[in-house]
A and B are shown apart, each in its own frame.
Chain A
Amino acid sequence: MSAFVPFVALVLTVFVLAFKAWPAITVNGVHFLVGSSWKPGNVYGAVSTTGGVAHPFGSSYGAWPAIAGTLESSAIAIVIAVPVSIGAAFALTERLPRWLAEILRSAIEILAGVPSVLLGLWGALTLGPLLANDVYPIVANHMPDVPFFSFFRGPTGHGEGLLTSGIVLSLMIIPIVASTTRNLFAQVPALPKEGGEALGMTDWEVGRKITIPWVRAGIIGATVLGLGRALGETIAVAMISGSLLNTIAPNIYGTMGTVAATLVTQLDSAFADGTGFEVRTLAELAVVLVIVVLIVNTVARIIVRRTGHLAAPVGGVI
């Protein structure tokens, strides 16, 4: 019975949010997903009515910058976190002496428990300025001016922005992905790995061709778990991203905002909207976040199914 609790909770949450958001969904329309302006309008002035829904005069909501910022910062976090996590898991299971591995393993688990507000504060006060002063300019000055890499050029700001957010997010999801991957690696039986060694493969080749593929589905699952955390992470990103409403970062160092950060930074002022329309719009934004997370999960499941046919038998026959 208790297995249904998370499912029921999810359905109820989405249903209540969607119900709350419905008037905003009808008024904001498609513009909400593709538009780039976030204007509450004149909350102390005249009330307009669109399709029977009351909202402040001049209000117009486009969440595309927040959606793009969410996807971008989470993508950066994953690109950093997955290789680091797999490397860490590999070192913990295959390379380091047991006593050191145990110490580092508990350190990773402690990192998983650090409240995100602390990481946000550290990112805003220490890491961001450090990167902006000593690292970003060097990177920005050495990137070629060609597509993709030109995104790494240009003004590097003062430490608040997309890349700093992505880096701090990666620190939050590395513990999740690394400790799951470590446990997966520890379950890979010795026999296929020995087979690779006996064939004259290097440790690196054994890891890349045997150990990682053996648990590929699990690593993808752990990555999705981490991605879910990154997409939904709120307070740290609100502190580091710059929490802008209408701006897509012009380059990777630029300030921006995310869906979750917008929710937390705008809720207070939303209550000032006497028509309640801005609160409904924030509910709509929350629905968008849920949908993004669901899409990501579905895509991950498809990837697991596509690549799963060569995977090792579940539970390991060997």
Chain B
Amino acid sequence: MDPVLEAQRDQTHSASEMDPILEALDPDRTRPADVLHSNSLSLAFGEKAVLSDVNISFRRGTITALIGPTGCGKSTFLRTINRMNDKVSGFRHGGDVSLEGESIWAPTRNLLLLRRRVGMLFQRPNPFPMSIKDNVVAGVKAHQIAKGKQLDVVAEERLRQVGLWDAIKDRLNESPYRLSGGQQQLLCLARALAVGPEVLLLDEPTSSLDPISTEVVEALLRELTPALTLIIVTHNLGQARRVSDNTMFLYQGELVEHGPTAQLFEHPKEAHTENYVTGRIG
């Protein structure tokens, strides 16, 4: 494995054995350790059941990879967490998903605020038809987090965070569609980060990117923890192994197995998991 990634991974792992003094400074110390919890969640479109009885918790500041063959319900599960499925006709859910203890479907829940807290990065870059700078701050403006000159600061900060600033600082008012695919995806990441989410959902974020851009995005994802909690759907088992702390394996609409990534890949408990991670089913 890449030694840089390895070092970063050690850093995040050492968070749990932190010095008590440092722990007292942790801004999230009073919050529940499990930021998201799925409680016997079942999902269906019309008569067609997609997922049944998924029970899993997502620990704050970790990266969870969501793997499984095509059609196993990975994306549906992911898109349920920020309620993107709600307006799909026929979508039904049983059980519950809670964000910090409160159901995402609670009547008191503000959908726009939920989506500010739970951001999303898509399979393919989807910049908006506006300048690069306006793309970065689109969410910031919508949520009225900042205005005027502050927006320039936000744009620079977030573009630096994703490592795009030096490459495009002179092109902030140009079209995002002239950027390379990898740069566009980083721009979308900067846009998602700009509203300050706690959770980031990634739906095969590198599936349309070249290997070098993929590497850049993967390295960035590691840097986003432990401030953020990441859930990444991926078809790329190597990617799951490289970036994630935990892995959950979905198969035919069921959560077959979940656990620490190394354990799931090297000592799977279930036969289906072993068949999938060794490439015997796909």
Contact = CB atoms under 8 A, between A and B. Distances in A.
B231 interface: no
A196 B84 contact: no
Interface in B65-118: 82, 84, 111-116
Interface of B: 82, 84, 111-116, 119-120, 122, 124-131, 138-139, 142-143, 174-175, 177, 188, 191-192, 195
A200 B115 contact: yes
Given A199-B142, A213-B129, 5 more contacts: A192-B128, A194-B84, A195-B120, A196-B138, A317-B177
A9 interface: no
A312 B122 contact: no
Contacts of A209: 128, 130, 138
A199 B116 CA distance: 6
A214 B119 contact: no
A205 B174 CA distance: 21
Interface in A150-195: 191-192, 194-195
Contacts of B126: 191-192, 194-195, 318
Contact of B128 (A202, A210, A313, A317): A210
Interface of A: 191-192, 194-202, 205, 209-210, 213-214, 216, 309-313, 317-318
A209 B188 CA distance: 16
Nearest to A313: B177
B129 A191 contact: no
Given A191-B122, A199-B195, A202-B112, A310 B139 contact: no
A214 B176 CA distance: 13
A216 B129 CA distance: 10
B192 A199 contact: yes
A10 B125 CA distance: 45
Contacts of B130: 209, 213, 310
B262 to A, nearest CB: 31
Contacts of A201: 112, 138-139, 142
In order of increasing CB-CB distance, the 7 nearest A-B pairs are A200-B115, A198-B120, A199-B139, A195-B126, A213-B129, A200-B112, A200-B116
Q: Which of A195, A197, A199, A205 has the most CB of B within 10 A?
A: A199
A231 to B, nearest CB: 30
Given A191-B124, A210-B128, A197 B115 contact: yes
Contacts of A317: 177
Given A191-B122, A309-B175, A200 B139 contact: yes
Given A198-B119, A309-B175, A192 B113 contact: no
A200 B138 contact: no
B74 to A, nearest CB: 17
A317 B127 CA distance: 11
A312 B129 contact: yes
Contact of B113 (A196, A200, A210, A309): A200
A292 to B, nearest CB: 31
Nearest to A193: B126
Nearest to B132: A310
A311 B195 CA distance: 24
A317 B114 CA distance: 30
Nearest to A188: B129
Contacts of B192: 198-199
B119 A310 contact: no
A199 B197 CA distance: 10
Given A199-B142, A200-B143, A311 B84 contact: no
A72 B245 CA distance: 67
Contacts of A196: 128, 138
Contacts of A194: 84, 122, 126
Given A205-B142, A317-B177, A199 B115 contact: yes
Nearest to A213: B129
Given A200-B112, A200-B115, A195 B128 contact: yes
A312 B135 CA distance: 13
Contacts of B128: 192, 195-196, 209-210, 213
B116 to A, nearest CB: 4
Q: Which of B112, B116, B129, B139 has the most CB of A within 10 A?
A: B129
A199 to B, nearest CB: 4
A191 B112 CA distance: 18
